[in-house]
Amino acid sequence: MKIGLTYDLRDEYRRLGYGEEETAEFDSLETIQGIESALESLGYQTDRIGHIGALTARLAAGERWDLAFNIAEGLNGLGREAQVPALLDAFRIPYTFSDPVALALTLHKGMAKHVVRDLGIPTPDFAVVHDDFELEGMRLPLPLFVKPVAGGSSMGISPAAKICELESLLPACRELWTRFGQPVLVESFLEGREYTVGVVGTGSGTKALGVMEILLQPEAEPEVYSYANKRDYQTRVCYRLANGGLAERATDLALKVWKGLGCRDAGRVDLRCDSRGELNFLEVNPLAGLHPEHSDLVILCRLLGIGYQQLIRIVMESVEERLRADLKAAPVAIP
């Protein structure tokens, strides 16, 4: 099987003048090499494609692949993560991870929370605000938390994201509007502990790998899993497996979220407890980072004794099972 790798390489965008935080979601060469090596060790033939521009050019030149291993985050627009999968769908090339609908929905944290709330899953009260006028009409009690509505990798998140005084809300939102050029999600701040759940599979075949608690160290920026804390996780963050009743509840919520939002193959669901210790949905990451050392899903797998090659094998097994099911469900042509 010939597998094309679609991705956004961070160094390439940095050379074009994009900043550190703008490219936070993009992948390092180590990630591409890690995925490539893991796939080749599993017997697949790989071909590096790269970003949507490179993919478009090669498709136009007539090139095709049996499957695309897609981790492309995209650069522009609220549907940026859906762009490469939509293009692959148009050319009937199967790919790993979620489809354009799920990726567009989950990237917009406000839209995802609407669906999750309709599924009966608790999530902090929220509003999506585009300008000063919308902010004036918002009525949510303090403390609040603000972040870009379609950011990832903790982009735009710092201690200033927690709003304890109403006078701080407008300046914080204006700063995010200016920096990221997208709406801001304003939600009730949750005071409790934070967890991420690793999920694999699709539909009825979905299962949780495990639940990991994210514990901030004294050296960390307080209270939030910020961009700086995630970047310097070796000294600022402690990760440990959760178990018992809380882990069971986290698993149940994560699986409901994953299936309800139509996510596929592998990713993460982030949860946090409120002041009463009740778990709430924060966001889902259907294109979870796959750096061989420091991505959260990889760290969770390491705690579970799952090596990097084994994780990639799990992803590929999910894809192949899904494609076999799709083939069986395909309508039979009537002669």
Indicate the range of 44-48, 244-248, 295-299, 329-333 predicted with least confidence. Answer: 329-333
pLDDT in tens, 231-260: 899 999 999 999 999 999 999 999 999 999
Listed in order, strand segments (DSSP E) in the chain are: 2-6, 45-50, 67-70, 126-129, 144-148, 162-163, 184-188, 194-200, 207-216, 237-241, 266-273, 279-285
Segments forming the whole domain that contains residue 131:
125-188
Domain ends where: 188, 207, 232? 188
Q: Does the residue 154 lie in any domain?
A: yes
For residue 158, the domain's CATH number is 3.30.1490.20
Number of folded domains in the chain? Answer: 3
Residue pair 68/94 in contact (Cβ under 8 Å)? The answer is yes
Whole-prediction pTM: 0.94
Q: What average pLDDT is seen over the chain?
A: 94
Q: Does the residue 246 lie in any domain?
A: yes
Nearest Cα to 156, choosing from 295, 21, 296, 286? Answer: 21
Q: Does the residue 113 lie in any domain?
A: no
Residues 13 and 62 reside in one and the same domain: yes
Q: Does the residue 114 lie in any domain?
A: no
Domain ends where: 188, 210, 229? 188
Residues 181 and 198 reside in one and the same domain: no
Q: Does the residue 111 lie in any domain?
A: no
Q: Which of 8-22, 98-112, 130-144, 318-332 has the highest mean pLDDT?
A: 98-112
Residues 183 and 206 reside in one and the same domain: no
